[in-house]
C-alpha cells in the first residue's frame, strides 16, 4: 500500500477499507507516514467526508493504538459524559457529584484545556491541593467506595488521537464531523465507559456553528457508540454565548457550587440537569428522563449534593473548606469593569471571543505547556436578552496582569446590541438517542 494512492482515493471521494485505515493511522502514529502526507489526507477527509463504516473503523483503529482502561472491577454501569467543548462549560463539575449521589459510579477521565475552551481538570485544580494523578487501584477504590473519582487521561490512551489532533490543530482540519466523532468516541470507549452521554455544543463558541452540523456530529457519534455496543445519547446544547455567568477556573468552581446549592444560572442549571438526567437513566437509577430530572432537582433542593461535592474534593486531596467559604478559592488582584457604550438589549455575545479573552487574562493556555492563573477569568454580568443603559457594567475582567487592554477590547466587541428585545435562546435544541 502507498500513502499517496490512499490520499488520492479519498480525494476522489472513495471509500477506504479497514485495512487502509489501519495502514494510515498505524503508519502515522509510528512515524513512518510524514506530517505532509497526513495533512493532505486529513484535508481530503475534511472535503470528502467519511461514511459511517469508515468512521467506525477509524474510531476502532484509534482505540487500538494504545491502552484500554479496564474498569470491570467497578460495580454497576459506568456512565461517562463528554462535551465537544465550550466557553464557561463547567457541567462536569456539577454532574459528577449529582450523578454519584444517586448511586451511579462516575469514573471520570478528563483532559486539560487548550485554546479558548477550558479543561475540567484545570478547573478543579483551582482548589488548593486537588490532584488527579491517582494509581489505577486508588482510582477504582474511590469509585467503588464513593461512586466518583476523577483522573487525568493515562499517557498511552489513544496516542494516535493525540498525534492526529495536534496536526489537525495546525492544518485547519479540526472542524470535520468524522474526525471529531472518531476522536471523541475513541477516548470515551478506551476509557472504559459502558454508557456515554454527549453534550454537543452548537453556536459561536463551539466547533459546530450550525444546528445542521451539530446534528450530523451527534448522529455520527451515537451511531459509533451503537456499533461498538455502548449505549449513547447526544444532547445538542447552546453555545451561542458562554454558559452561565463565569469563565475561568476558580470562577467556574464557584459557579458550579451555586448550581449545586440550587441558586445557579438558569441556562447552566438546565443543561447540567439535562445531561445528569440522561446519565442517571443510562445508569438505570431512573426509568425515564422526566423522573430523573425531577428526582435530581429534588436532590439539589435538599442540599445533600453539596456534601457530595465536598466529599469529592476531600477524596481528591483538595481543601474542602472552599465549599463553606468560596473566598478561599484563588482571587485575582485586579477586577476591571467593561461598560456598555450604548443603550439597548444584548442580542449576542461571541463566545469564542470571550474564551480567547479569558486566555489572554491568564485563565487558559496558548501552548500545551503554558502555566495557567486559576484566579483569572471573566464574569458575564449581562447576557443575551438583558437590557442595558450606556455606562452599565456588562462584564468584569479578573486578572493579575497589568496589561489587559487587548482582552478588554475583545470583550467589548464580543457584545452586540439592538433596540428590540431578542427572542429567548433555547438551552437545549435536540436529543439524539
Q: Which stretch binds ligand URA (CB under 6 A): 56-64, 178-186, 225-233, 309-317?
A: 178-186
Task: Give me the residue whose beta carbon is nearest to ligand URA.
Answer: 183
CB of 181 to ligand URA, least distance (A): 8
Q: Which stretch binds ligand URA (CB under 6 A): 31-39, 172-180, 301-309, 339-347?
A: 172-180
Measured CA distances, 234 to 195, 197, 213, 216, 282 (Å)? 11, 6, 13, 11, 12
CB of 85 to ligand URA, least distance (A): 5
DSSP H stretches of helix in 102-158: 120-124, 136-146
Active site residue 215: no
Residues 111-170 that bind ligand URA (CB under 6 A): 165
Active site residue 168: yes
Supply 284's cell numbers. 438505570
Q: Binding of ligand URA at residue 183 (CB under 6 A)?
A: yes
CB of 83 to ligand URA, least distance (A): 8
Q: Binding of ligand URA at residue 85 (CB under 6 A)?
A: yes
Number of amino acids touching ligand URA (CB under 6 A): 8
Residue in 61, 342, 63 with CA at minimum distance from that of residue 188? 63
- Looking at 183, 204, 357, 375, which residue is catalytic? 183
Number of H helices, E strands in the chain: 17, 13
Which CB sits closer to ligand URA, 196 or 332? 196
d(CA 183, CA 137): 27
Q: Is-contact 248 401, C-beta < 8 A?
A: no
d(CA 212, CA 291): 30
CB of 168 to ligand URA, least distance (A): 7
Q: Pick from 157, 184, 378, 388: which binds ligand URA (CB under 6 A)?
A: 184
Q: Binding of ligand URA at residue 110 (CB under 6 A)?
A: no
Q: Binding of ligand URA at residue 84 (CB under 6 A)?
A: yes
Supply 57's cell numbers. 473503523
CB proximity list for 188: less than 8 A, separation 6 or greater: 80, 82, 196, 230
E-only strand ranges, 57-206: 79-83, 106-110, 148-152, 195-202
CB of 176 to ligand URA, least distance (A): 8
d(CA 119, CA 109): 11
Q: Binding of ligand URA at residue 59 (CB under 6 A)?
A: no
- Looking at 81, 90, 187, 382, which residue is catalytic? 187
Q: Pick from 79, 94, 180, 253: which binds ligand URA (CB under 6 A)?
A: 180
Active site residue 183: yes
Supply 192's cell numbers. 472504559
Active site residue 82: yes
Supply 415's cell numbers. 457584545
The count of other CB atoms within 10 Å of the CB of residue 1 is 11
Q: Which stretch binds ligand URA (CB under 6 A): 24-32, 130-138, 180-188, 220-228?
A: 180-188
Q: Bridge-partner residues for 152, per DSSP?
A: 110
d(CA 109, CA 150): 6
Q: Which stretch binds ligand URA (CB under 6 A): 86-94, 179-187, 321-329, 390-398?
A: 179-187
Residues of the shown chain interacting with ligand URA in the complex, contacts defined by CB under 6 A: 84-85, 165, 174, 179-180, 183-184
Which residues have a catalytic role annotated? 82, 161, 168, 183, 187
Amino acid at each position: 500500500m502507498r500513502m499517496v494512492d490512499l490520499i488520492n482515493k479519498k480525494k476522489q471521494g472513495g471509500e477506504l477499507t479497514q485495512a487502509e485505515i489501519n495502514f494510515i493511522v498505524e503508519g502515522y502514529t509510528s512515524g513512518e507516514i510524514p506530517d505532509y502526507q497526513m495533512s493532505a489526507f486529513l484535508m481530503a477527509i475534511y472535503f470528502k467526508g467519511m461514511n459511517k463504516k469508515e468512521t467506525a473503523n477509524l474510531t476502532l483503529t484509534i482505540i487500538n493504538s494504545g491502552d484500554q482502561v479496564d474498569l470491570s472491577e467497578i460495580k454497576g454501569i459506568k456512565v461517562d459524559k463528554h462535551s465537544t467543548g465550550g466557553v464557561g462549560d463547567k457541567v462536569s463539575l456539577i454532574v459528577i457529584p449529582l450523578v454519584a449521589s444517586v448511586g451511579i459510579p462516575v469514573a471520570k477521565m478528563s483532559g486539560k484545556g487548550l485554546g479558548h475552551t477550558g479543561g475540567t481538570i484545570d478547573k478543579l485544580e483551582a482548589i488548593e491541593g486537588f490532584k488527579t494523578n491517582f494509581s489505577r487501584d486508588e482510582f477504582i477504590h474511590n469509585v467503588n467506595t464513593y461512586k466518583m473519582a476523577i483522573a487525568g487521561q493515562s499517557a498511552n490512551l489513544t496516542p494516535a488521537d493525540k498525534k492526529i489532533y495536534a496536526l489537525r490543530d495546525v492544518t485547519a482540519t479540526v472542524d470535520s464531523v468524522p474526525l471529531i466523532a472518531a476522536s471523541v468516541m475513541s477516548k470515551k470507549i478506551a476509557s472504559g465507559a459502558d454508557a456515554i452521554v454527549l453534550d454537543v455544543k452548537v453556536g459561536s463558541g463551539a466547533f459546530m456553528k450550525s444546528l445542521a452540523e451539530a446534528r450530523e456530529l451527534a448522529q455520527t457519534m451515537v451511531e459509533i457508540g451503537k456499533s461498538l455496543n455502548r449505549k449513547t445519547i447526544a444532547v445538542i446544547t447552546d453555545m451561542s454565548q458562554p454558559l452561565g455567568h463565569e469563565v475561568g477556573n476558580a470562577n467556574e468552581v464557584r459557579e458550579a457550587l451555586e448550581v449545586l446549592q440550587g441558586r445557579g444560572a438558569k441556562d447552566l442549571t438546565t443543561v447540567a440537569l439535562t445531561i445528569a438526567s440522561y446519565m442517571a437513566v443510562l445508569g438505570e437509577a431512573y426509568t425515564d428522563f422526566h423522573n430523573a430530572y425531577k428526582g435530581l432537582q429534588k436532590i439539589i433542593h435538599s442540599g445533600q449534593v453539596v456534601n457530595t461535592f465536598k466529599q469529592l474534593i476531600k477524596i481528591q486531596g483538595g481543601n474542602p473548606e472552599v465549599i463553606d467559604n468560596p473566598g478561599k478559592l484563588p482571587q485575582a488582584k485586579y477586577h476591571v469593569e467593561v461598560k456598555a457604550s450604548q443603550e439597548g438589549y444584548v442580542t449576542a455575545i461571541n463566545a469564542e471571543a470571550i474564551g480567547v479573552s479569558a486566555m489572554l487574562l491568564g485563565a487558559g493556555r496558548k501552548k500545551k505547556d503554558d502555566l495557567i492563573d486559576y484566579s483569572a477569568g471573566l464574569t458575564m454580568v449581562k447576557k443575551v436578552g438583558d437590557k442595558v443603559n450606556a455606562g452599565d457594567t456588562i462584564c468584569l475582567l479578573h486578572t493579575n496582569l497589568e496589561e489587559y487592554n487587548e482582552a478588554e477590547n475583545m470583550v467589548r466587541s464580543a457584545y452586540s446590541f439592538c433596540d428590540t428585545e431578542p427572542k429567548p435562546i433555547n438551552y437545549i435544541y435536540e436529543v439524539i438517542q
